[in-house]
Amino acid sequence: MLAAFCQRIVNASDPEVKEHFSASALMNPVQRLLEGHRSGKLSSKIESDLKEIIIPGLKRSLERMKPVREDDKGFSAFCIQSRIGWIKVGFIRHFVSEHQRWAQDEVLLFPRRQELPRGSFYEGMPPENRRRFAVSHGWACENHPTPSSKRIHRLAQALKTAHADDDDAVFLDYASLFQDARFGTGLGLPPQRDRTPGESKCFRTALFEMSRMFAFGGVEVIVLPQIERWQDFPAVLGSQSEPVLKFSEVKKRKCERFYPWGWINAVPYENRGWCAAEFSCALKAKIIANLGDQDVQDVLNARPWPENVEEYQKMMDDPAIEFTAKGDRDYVAYLFFKMSFDLSAAQHGQPSGAHGP
């Protein structure tokens, strides 16, 4: 049980492990141990060890766990081990200025983590005197989050509204996490390389702890829920004139695919699995910086947002919620619990161990 909160369980999807890895199973670990012992599923050579050694030791460990919202050291370790690239606000503003000057027949895409210019980002952790922002958004398509760069323009405006300084830092997944190559050669786009083995390790580490970015109190979350139309994507060499319908194995239906941008994602923000997970964590942690924006208010009012794991699981069971990868649905319920609830408080009887007032 402690490993479920402290370590990455690499075989969490195995049926024998999955039963014990679920959020509902971990809500009250002490009770879970007692029930397992009574049912005969758990045994101990010395009968008294469970109540005299194992459970007291588990309680002591749980009481020492800092909730994610307050866990400065855990957040720092996550960022450093993942080699998070925090984009400087000044670079985002510079990109928007450059994009506005480019002719319509030229393509300027916001860069991946690997192509960020030297000096345009902080690696690991930004300086302590810098504000930290994290962007919650859904990608416009499979191969780039915002081919038209409209989302970067909206981000620049949100940062201006938040009175961000040029040296403040922004987490934007595509430019903050190492990416695989998504575009081939001959398209008139800058060449891309795949992740190195070391970069792949950083990416996997980041993915396992990613919800920490949207639950930590030292981050201000900017929600950008707007859908980007494929008609606004720039034309590149060899690109199709419009999407074609193809069967998606993940979604089990025909979806639009547009070369070279990949699958088009027109699902509303509140119905995208990882977006819903990020919004739920950030809302519970009370760290959404632009909650008053009308588009964000529309998301807030689009569905009841969960206050506990049971409500979260119910939301995840909604068939309208879509994921881009198999297995994500089961995993995010556990993440919501791990990132949004205070186990140390739960040991003292606080309902659900919830953060905040």
Please, what's the b/e burial string for 250-270 (b: 16 or more CB within 10 A of its CB; e: otherwise)? eeeeebbbbebbebbbebbbb
pLDDT given at position 315:
87
* Phi, psi angles (nearest 5°) of residue 135: -100, 125
Quick check: 331 and 208 in contact, CB under 8 A? no
pLDDT in tens, the chain (357 residues): 677 666 667 776 677 776 666 666 666 777 778 887 788 777 777 778 888 888 888 888 877 778 888 899 999 999 999 999 999 999 999 999 999 887 666 788 999 999 999 999 999 999 999 999 999 999 999 999 999 999 999 999 999 999 999 999 999 999 999 999 988 766 677 788 999 999 999 999 998 888 899 999 999 999 999 999 999 998 876 778 899 999 998 888 999 999 889 999 999 999 998 899 899 999 999 999 999 999 999 999 999 998 877 788 788 888 888 877 655 666 666 666 667 666 655 555 444 444 443
Q: How far apart are CA 259 and CA 240, in angstroms?
A: 6
* Phi, psi angles (nearest 5°) of residue 202: -60, -40
pLDDT given at position 37:
79
pLDDT given at position 309:
74
∠19-24-25 over CA atoms, to 5°?
50
pLDDT given at position 41:
77
pLDDT given at position 15:
73
Neighbours of 157 (CB within 10 A): 14
Which structure tokens are listed for 342? 């205070």
User: Domain boundaries in the chain?
Assistant: 2-63, 69-343
Quick check: 113 and 153 in contact, CB under 8 A? no
pLDDT given at position 351:
42
pTM of the full predicted structure? Answer: 0.87
